[in-house]
Structure 1
Amino acid sequence: MDEDAARFDARAAAWDANAHRRKLARNIVTAMAQTGIFARELPNVLDFGCGTGLLTLELADRAGHVTGLDTSPGMLAELSAKLEQAGLGNVSVLQADLAAGDPLPGSYDLITSAMALHHLPDPAVVLKRLFAVANPGAHLALADLDAEGGRFHDDNAGVYHHGFDRIDLADMLAGIGFTGIAAATAATIEKAGKNGLTVPFTVFLMTARKPASCCAPSKL
């Protein structure tokens, strides 16, 4: 197991205790709904970097099936326990490291990710793989921090990007082949700074689509 996965394993049991994280998942789903993503049928959804499944579970009653994917077995164990307790049969978990080349079976009508991109050394590598397994016409919905200069996390270990410039990320998606790219602010998280003052950090939702005329998805 790599150091980043081990770091999240250590945090898994207490992850959901953070009220900001629970509220953020709800805000992201609300922002997604405002784009009209849920107006079409979504037989298969992939939640990349799902963690304990805060977003995954919000999607469960809006899709035929949701796969929660993460590199951390500890995080996925927390999600699996929730699924068993709730008796949800339309959600599954998958441990895989797409950046390392692990296989990703299936194809998807919606791919989501919440606060996971900034933990990837090279997001383009993973986004290309997600593009490959997206069905033609599928939606992509990425939520992450706007550029924040390294002030958001109390510990920046495992944080490879201090948020993102929306234009730069949109250009990256366009270069991969996504179209219809748009972004909006999904939430604002307020945290106490080192000087005791409250600092607001915005989280964007960037949506895009794989062209409907694109080639059939491949299994990577």
Structure 2
Amino acid sequence: MTRTRPTQLDAAHFDSKARQWDDNPLFRERGLMIAEAIRKAVPLHKHMNALDYGCGTGLLSFPLKDELGAILMADSSSGMLDVVVGKIAAQGVSNMTPMKLDLLADPPPAQRFDLIVTSMTLHHIPGTDSILRIFHDLLKPGGTLCIADLDQEDGSFHGPEVDVHHGFDRADLSLRAVQAGFAELNFQTVFSIAKEHETGTRDYPVFLMTARRASA
């Protein structure tokens, strides 16, 4: 489960789309649905510090910001982070800090987190096993990882010209997470994304996986 192209290509793609990202009501709705699924799966509180990795324009973390403590908003796309900075200023948010970060290339942040969330990002990351180990190391003992992403598909979601993982088999991802040190894994289907193809409309389910780093 590896990819060969560097994540900088993804960053350039998202830079070009950042300013219009929040204009899509489907993107906003998906962020709200994933936030609600996390809210139901994890007992959030204001002493909980979080990392939103691959935060994009913050469509997942902004709905959760009043229920959490400090949130590090990390992305490899400067364009997306510019939008986050503008939203933080416009809304007077005091508990969000943006950071340009690629955890497979850059040094990890010094702090450790109670919660790591990542939405529709894992399939863009070349090394699944590597990023799971990094997430594990960045969590405090007892901390929770929440991954929202695509179920395994045939490559038609993005198309053959885009070099990404074609979603994830839940059993395989569970095994990889356990090997990275996680326990108490749970999956749920949050929603499906409908896409039109020449053969008709196809639904692509999106799961939320929660996993916990052991307390000791």
Normalised to the residue count of structure 2, the TM-score between the two structures is: 0.92
The equivalent position to 1:93 in structure 2, one of 91, 98, 111, is 98
Relative distance call for 1:56 and 1:165 in structure 2 (3 A) is: same
Counterpart check, 1:68 vs 2:55: no
Aligned equivalent of 2:16:
10
> Does the aligned pair in 1 maintain the 2:46–2:66 contact within 8 Å?
no
* DSSP-derived class of the 2:198 partner: coil
> Does the aligned pair in 2 maintain the 1:145–1:163 contact within 8 Å?
yes
> Does the aligned pair in 1 maintain the 2:51–2:73 contact within 8 Å?
yes
> Does the aligned pair in 2 maintain the 1:110–1:139 contact within 8 Å?
yes
Give the superposition deviation at 1:184: 0.6
> 2: distance between equivalents of 1:32 and 1:77?
25
Relative distance call for 1:207 and 1:44 in structure 2 (3 A) is: same
> 1: distance between equivalents of 2:195 and 2:188?
21
Amino acid at match of 2:87: K
For the aligned residues, what is the CA RMSD?
Answer: 1.6
The equivalent position to 2:40 in structure 1, one of 16, 34, 38, is 34
Counterpart check, 1:171 vs 2:171: no
Matching of residues 1-220 of structure 1 within 5 Å: 2-35=8-41, 37-40=42-45, 42-153=47-158, 156-157=161-162, 159-195=163-199, 197-213=200-216
> Does the aligned pair in 2 maintain the 1:131–1:210 contact within 8 Å?
yes
> 2: distance between equivalents of 1:142 and 1:156?
25
* DSSP-derived class of the 2:61 partner: helix
Give the superposition deviation at 1:192: 1.5
> 2: distance between equivalents of 1:104 and 1:166?
29
**Consecutive unaligned residues in structure 1, runs of 5 or more:** 214-220
> Does the aligned pair in 1 maintain the 2:44–2:67 contact within 8 Å?
no
- 1:8-54 CA-partner distances (Å, limit 9, x unpaired): 1111111122222111111111111222x135554211001001110
**Consecutive unaligned residues in structure 2, runs of 5 or more:** 1-6
Higher helix share goes to which structure? 1
Identity %: 37
> 2: distance between equivalents of 1:163 and 1:67?
26
> 2: distance between equivalents of 1:39 and 1:68?
17
- 1:136-186 CA-partner distances (Å, limit 9, x unpaired): 0001100000011111125742x4201000010010000010000110101
> 2: distance between equivalents of 1:149 and 1:72?
27
> Does the aligned pair in 2 maintain the 1:52–1:79 contact within 8 Å?
yes
Amino acid at match of 2:10: D
Amino acid at match of 1:50: C
> 2: distance between equivalents of 1:54 and 1:120?
19
> 2: distance between equivalents of 1:30 and 1:169?
22
